[in-house]
Amino acid sequence: MSIIYNFNPGPAILPKEILLEIKKNFLNWNNSKSSIVEISHRSSKFIEFTLKTEKDLRYILNIPENYRILFCHGGARGQFSAIPLNLTSKFIQPDYINSGYWSLCAFQEAKKYCNPNIINIRRLTKNNQIYVKSVRHWKVSSKNTYIHYCPNETIEGIEIFEEPIFHNKIIVGDFSSNILSRKINIEKYGIIYACAQKNIGPAGITLVIIRDDLLQFTSRQSPSILDYQLLAQSNSMLNTPSIFSWYVAGLVFKWIKKIGGLDFIEKNNKKKARILYKYLDSTNFYNNYIFPINRSRMNVTFHLQKKKLTDVFINMAEKHGLYGLKGHSLVGGIRASIYNAMPINGIKRLIFFMKYFEKKFS
């Protein structure tokens, strides 16, 4: 079987060794004589596994003891509602930073529960490249409130590498697409959340890291399944969680520790992105429209100069073992999602194909 490289934005590529371990243990997990999808979430073996999983994650991200780790339902979209429902009884008029599609979606959802203030930070250079304003130029309100932002916009391929620092503000970060890709100073945030299907594992579970003091402001109207206080009290088992997703997440955390933690991961992600962007900058056949300081390391977007060749490129790429390169329908073009599990050889194979395609159709 020829090697396939999965550039899908999510569900995304998983490390091959983890897929093999899942296959090996699927029918008899941990010598329980039961499949991992049949095991009780209340069983002592699975509870022991979840405790180890949390311990590994706390170690990888250096999460302080005054933060709770929750494993929730509903993906990041569920958290678009959960955030205001859990915070706006205290912080009535939050600030929402608009850097792209997903941050705008979060703002639109928050409007159902409160009166958020939107702050647009996207700009164009003279060469029509997209960039976002530096954090020090974000015109946030003077009120004691929370600020929501998304540091990586998967659709456009925009990443914010600065960490926001504002006095008397609760920083909420949607790290769905770049969690575990680089180091984060957790103590700068009140809440960090991330859906699983990028760098954590399969869809079905959502990570929430929340500072203890923020567990007390939940609205009475909040559905129980979105109530952070109830989820914390029940150790994320208010109802039956997605056992399989939680299991794979635990394997991924273990894998990250094994290969060198976020020091290695971040260095490797920088290298992969640098190689691909260097090639894109060397040719006029493909065009990336993101200003260099905001180019995503996770989602590299580009367009063919001859746009009519886009579908041809995608179809030919699949025949060369390169899957999931179609850009989002809102922006078109090509999107190569190069999350943690994408090997350097996948980047090299993509560039080899791009050179071949350019030579064939120039």
**In this structure, what CATH number is given to the domain that contains residue 99?**
3.40.640.10
pTM: 0.96
3-state secondary structure of 212: helix
Same domain, 270 and 254: no
Which band of pLDDT confidence, cut at 50, 70 and 90, is reported for residue 326? Answer: very high
Look over the chain and give the mean of its residue pLDDT values, rounded to a whole number: 96
> Which of 9-13, 218-222, 352-356 has the least mean pLDDT?
218-222
3-state SS assignment for residue 278: helix
Q: Are residues 208 and 356 in the same domain?
A: no
In this structure, are residues 165 and 157 in contact, taking their beta carbons and an 8 Å threshold?
Answer: no
Strand partners, 132: 122
Residue % of the chain over a pLDDT of 90: 91
**Active-site residue list:** 102, 174, 198
- The pLDDT of 303-324, averaged and rounded, is 97
Whether residue 174 is annotated as binding a ligand: the answer is: yes
Residue 300 is part of a domain; what is its CATH number? 3.90.1150.10
**pLDDT for res 218:** 87
| Tokens describing residue 75 | 């993906």
Q: Does 95 show up as a binding residue in the annotation?
A: no
Instruction: Single out the residue in 259, 292, 314 at which a domain terminates.
Output: 259
Alpha helix ranges (H) inside the chain: 16-25, 44-61, 75-87, 101-110, 228-233, 243-259, 261-281, 310-319, 344-361
Region 317-326 average pLDDT: 97
Alpha-carbon gap, residue 267 to 253, rounded angstroms = 17
Residue 1 lies in a domain: no
Q: Note whether 302 and 172 are same-domain residues.
A: no
State how many domains the chain has.
2
Residue 102 known to bind ligand: yes
Predicted local distance difference test score (pLDDT) of residue 13: 96
Judgement on whether residues 275 and 311 belong to the same structural domain of the protein: yes
Task: State mean pLDDT over 166-176.
Answer: 94
The domain boundary residue, chosen from 259, 278, 308: 259
Phi/psi for 54 (5° steps) reads -65, -40
Is the same domain home to 62 and 42?
A: yes
Cis ω for the linkage preceding 292 (within 30 of 0): no
Cβ neighbourhood burial of 94 (10 Å; 0-12, 13-18, 19+)? buried
| Together in a domain, 99 and 213 | yes
Question: 226 and 273, same structural domain?
Answer: no
Is residue 181 located within the same domain as residue 317?
A: no
pLDDT at position 219, please? 83
pLDDT digits (tens, 9 = 90+) for 133-164: 999 999 999 888 999 999 999 999 999 999 99
Work out the average pLDDT over 331-337.
97
pLDDT band at 287 (very low <50, low <70, confident <90, very high): very high
The long-range contacts involving 233-237, CB below 8 angstroms and separated by at least 24 positions, are 235/50, 236/50, 236/70, 236/71, 236/72, 237/41, 237/42
> Is 98 one of the annotated binding-site residues?
no
* Domain containing residue 345: 260-361
CA proximity to 148, closest of 91, 106, 105: 106
Give me the pLDDT at residue 89, please: 87
Whether residues 41 and 186 fall in one domain: yes
Shared domain check, 296 and 169: no
Q: What is the DSSP letter of 189?
A: -
Does 218 share its domain with 288?
no
**145, part of any domain:** yes
pLDDT at 1 over 60: no
